[in-house]
């Protein structure tokens, strides 16, 4: 019997098996359908992209529909509508929350009081995935990461897509299958796929990606990145796609 739940931690690792390696991370408020319970772990799938894996049972609570999402790189939920009150939880970009009331510049949620400037209403999206990706510039690389605390190449692409109202799988392989192949010259808003890696073009000459070479989110010249990746033996390019 399936049951709808949601994440109640800042971040929760979605693991391949109980106490196993992290495949992805889910954010505070992300929906998770429990398909099987096994003690301290639950097997199921993420609502936002269907990714399956194991989540710690303690990281889950009954689902509550969200009204807003965190549109700042990160935010805090405070104990009171006062920036000097104790912060109770760190909230990453994309976290989903339920606002029950507003108190000046703070929104009241079950997690605490969140600065109104850091929230957007559900359905209020950014216009351009390139601008979202640039919010993460300098954030550290983390395999399977999905937040400013650590993010990988496919996590960055997914964050940019979801924040602009675009559906997007969680890994680069499914992303390559999901987005239509691009033709013609290099252009802004294209995805470049290598074996196990993906980058987003900012222009006809520059791209942005979370990469293990720099261990951070960085902007590079397209030609230089292609040459460097080929020289490292991680090429060739498999596909170029256009974000829809």
Per-10-residue mean pLDDT, the chain, length 244: 90 96 98 95 97 98 97 98 97 98 97 98 97 98 98 98 97 97 94 98 98 97 97 94 86
The pLDDT score that the predictor gives to residue 194 is: 98
Residue 2 has what pLDDT?
Answer: 77
Residues pairing with 52 in the sheet:
45
| CATH code for the domain defined by 3-62 | 2.30.30.40
In which residue ranges of the chain is CATH 2.30.30.40 found?
A: 3-62
Residue 1 confidence (pLDDT): 55
The CATH fold assigned to 129-242 is: endopeptidase fold (from Nostoc punctiforme) (3.90.1720)
- Give the pLDDT of residue 217: 98
Interatomic CA distance for residues 27 and 16, integer angstroms: 17
CATH topology of domain 70-121: SH3 type barrels. (2.30.30)
pLDDT, position 187: 95
Is the model's pTM score more than 0.85?
A: yes
Residues 112 and 78: beta-carbon distance below 8 Å: yes
Q: Which residue spans of the chain are classified as CATH 3.90.1720.10?
A: 129-242
């Amino acid at each position: 019997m399936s049951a709808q739940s949601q994440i109640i931690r800042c971040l929760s690792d979605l693991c391949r098996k109980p106490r196993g390696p992290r495949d992805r991370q889910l954010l505070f408020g992300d929906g998770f359908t429990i398909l099987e319970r096994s003690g301290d772990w639950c097997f199921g799938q993420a609502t936002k992209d269907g990714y399956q894996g194991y989540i710690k049972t303690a990281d889950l609570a009954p689902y509550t529909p969200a009204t807003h999402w965190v549109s700042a790189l990160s935010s805090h939920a405070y104990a009171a509508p006062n920036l000097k009150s104790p912060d109770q939880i760190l909230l990453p970009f994309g976290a989903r929350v339920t606002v029950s009331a507003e108190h000046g510049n703070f929104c009241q949620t079950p997690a605490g009081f969140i600065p109104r400037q850091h929230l957007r209403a559900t359905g209020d999206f950014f216009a351009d995935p390139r601008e979202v990706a640039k919010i993460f510039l300098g954030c550290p690389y983390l395999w399977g990461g999905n937040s400013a605390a650590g993010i990988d190449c496919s996590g960055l692409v997914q964050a940019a897509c979801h924040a602009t109202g675009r559906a997007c799988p969680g890994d680069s392989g499914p992303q390559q299958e999901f987005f239509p192949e691009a033709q013609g010259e290099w252009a802004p808003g294209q995805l470049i796929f290598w074996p196990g890696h993906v980058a987003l073009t900012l222009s006809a000459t520059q791209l942005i990606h979370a990469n293990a070479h720099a261990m951070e989110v960085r902007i590079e010249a397209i030609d230089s990145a292609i040459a460097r990746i080929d020289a490292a033996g991680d090429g060739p390019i498999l596909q170029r796609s256009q974000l829809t």
